[in-house]
Amino acid sequence: MTRLPLEGIRVADFSWFGAGPIGAQTLATFGAEVVRVESEAKVDSLRVVHPFAMNPDGSFKTGYNVSGYFNNFNASKLSMLLNLNSERGQEIGYRIIEKSDIFVTNFTPRVIDKWNLRYEQIAKVNPRIIAAYAPMQGMEGPHRDFLGFGAVLTPVTGISEMSGFPNRPPIGVGTNYPDYVVNPGHTITAVLAALRYRNRTGKGQCVELPQLESVVNVLGTAVADYLANGNNQTRNGNRHPAAAPHGAFRCLDDATSVASPDRWVVIACRDERQWAALCGAFGQQASATDGRFATLAARKANEDALEAVVGEWTAGRRAEDVMELLQAAGVPCGVVQNSQDLLDKDEHIRGRGYYRYLDHAETGRAAYDGPGFRLVATPGELRAPAPLLGEHTMDVCERILGMTADEVADLLAEGVLA
């Protein structure tokens, strides 16, 4: 049986919501044993938000274990309930950290201080620990205790300013993008670098990842453009300075599309060859030499008219047909896919087996996101569905911490465990 690359590594996951747990799940996917420390006094809010699994009669299931949101980002973990607001609970927390290689949290410094989980404190318990702190604004600074989510980060980092159409309010990216991609990816990269350092030197270290500073990276050239040219980049819709047409174009509605029949394709022409190929594919060869559109500069100068013409051509066709027609002609084009497309219709994603189907005790069989990358020799895998709230408290106490059944019973009676 192929060993996973992080087998033998234990992670103390003291995080919640998105950025922390998603990063820790990546470690679990590649073999680490991840102990998700939770509290029944303040349940992770992702456990109580939609989408919820449905009953056979069409009603939604209820409880702390049926959120598709939470379950998708916590597969292959153990769940332990621990009251960190008590001195005894903090002692148990230290024992978990002592038995772990990696500590992950994205709580604010205020909470970290309250629970006595600063690096200098936990390093006394375990000098080899790699401790990753990912609060929104960092561990120090004027805004260190500010709360926030991805929906807050997108405006404060400048992403929302650049998202939307000119002369309209900023709209952001429509999802908590930083939580899913940027911050977990940067956190895990830093943790693995620290793990490699420890393997060489035997020394642990603290990793600080202010989510604010992590997310600013996705602005690309915007800051450099302002620094060098004084140009403050802002919303430009779907347009691009080096391509025309460049945008999303409406196609025929599709009544089989759940919730919304709207269908769209995206098209991009970077040079005259691609523009001529697009015109030829639609049987409109004369438009390739139309003075308004013959060159990139001309197309940019007449972009409203250009988009109206292309939109008229796509409006009477199925999105998939337009994509195949233009791709065959060498024109960059793709369907604007929705969730239904990705899960049920995309033959490439299905053929690669990206979505993994797991059986959960309360939600039944459900699709989980697969690993975001693959290692040929040691591929990651989702070994188990997301845990039920507190499902592994007894296992962690007995197997990892070496407690007796009587000790566990006493802690349960005291309210330290649940």
Q: Are residues 189 and 250 in the same domain?
A: no
Q: Are residues 387 and 317 in the same domain?
A: no
Evaluate whether residue 241 is within a structural domain.
Answer: no
Evaluate whether residue 107 is within a structural domain.
Answer: yes
CB 28 within 8 A of CB 76: yes
Q: Are residues 209 and 98 in the same domain?
A: yes
Q: Are residues 69 and 118 in the same domain?
A: yes
Q: Which pLDDT band, with edges at 50, 70 and 90, does 175 fall under?
A: confident
Q: Are residues 409 and 325 in the same domain?
A: no
65 CB-contact burial (10 Å; exposed 0-12 / middle 13-18 / buried 19+): buried
Known catalytic membership, residue 179? yes
Q: Where are the beta strands (DSSP E) in 269-403?
A: 333-335, 356-360, 364-368
Domain boundary pick from 341, 371, 391: 341
Q: Which pLDDT band, with edges at 50, 70 and 90, does 177 fall under?
A: confident
191-196 average pLDDT score:
98
251 is in which domain, residue-wise? 246-341
Domain boundary pick from 341, 376, 393: 341
Q: Are residues 61 and 199 in the same domain?
A: yes
Evaluate whether residue 87 is within a structural domain.
Answer: yes
Q: Are residues 85 and 189 in the same domain?
A: yes
Residue 358, beta-bridge partner list: 366
Evaluate whether residue 75 is within a structural domain.
Answer: yes
Mean pLDDT, the chain, rounded, equals: 95
Residue 220 has pLDDT above 90, yes or no: no
Number of domains, the chain: 2
Q: Are residues 166 and 297 in the same domain?
A: no
The 10s digit of each residue's pLDDT in 6-60 is 999 999 999 999 999 999 999 999 999 999 999 998 999 999 999 999 999 999 9
Q: Are residues 214 and 269 in the same domain?
A: no
33, two tokens: 């044993």
Evaluate whether residue 231 is within a structural domain.
Answer: no
pLDDT of the residue at 2: 67
Pick the closest to residue 106 from 137, 64, 152, 75 (CA basis). 137
120, two tokens: 């200098």
Report the predicted TM-score, pTM, of the whole model to 2 decimal places. Answer: 0.93
Any idea what the CATH number is for the domain that residue 304 is in?
Answer: 3.30.1540.10
Q: Where are the beta strands (DSSP E) in 182-297?
A: 205-208, 246-250, 264-268
pLDDT of the residue at 259: 79
Q: Which pLDDT band, with edges at 50, 70 and 90, does 1 fall under?
A: low
Contacts of 340 (CB under 8 A, 6+ apart): 257, 258
Evaluate whether residue 104 is within a structural domain.
Answer: yes
Q: Are residues 177 and 314 in the same domain?
A: no
Q: Are residues 191 and 301 in the same domain?
A: no
The 10s digit of each residue's pLDDT in 99-127 is 999 999 999 999 999 999 999 999 999 99
Q: Are residues 321 and 298 in the same domain?
A: yes
Question: Which of 13, 44, 101, 179 is an active site residue?
Answer: 179
Any idea what the CATH number is for the domain that residue 373 is in?
Answer: 3.40.50.10540
Q: Which pLDDT band, with edges at 50, 70 and 90, does 333 fall under?
A: very high
CA 22/CA 28 separation, integer angstroms: 10
Domain boundary pick from 296, 319, 341: 341
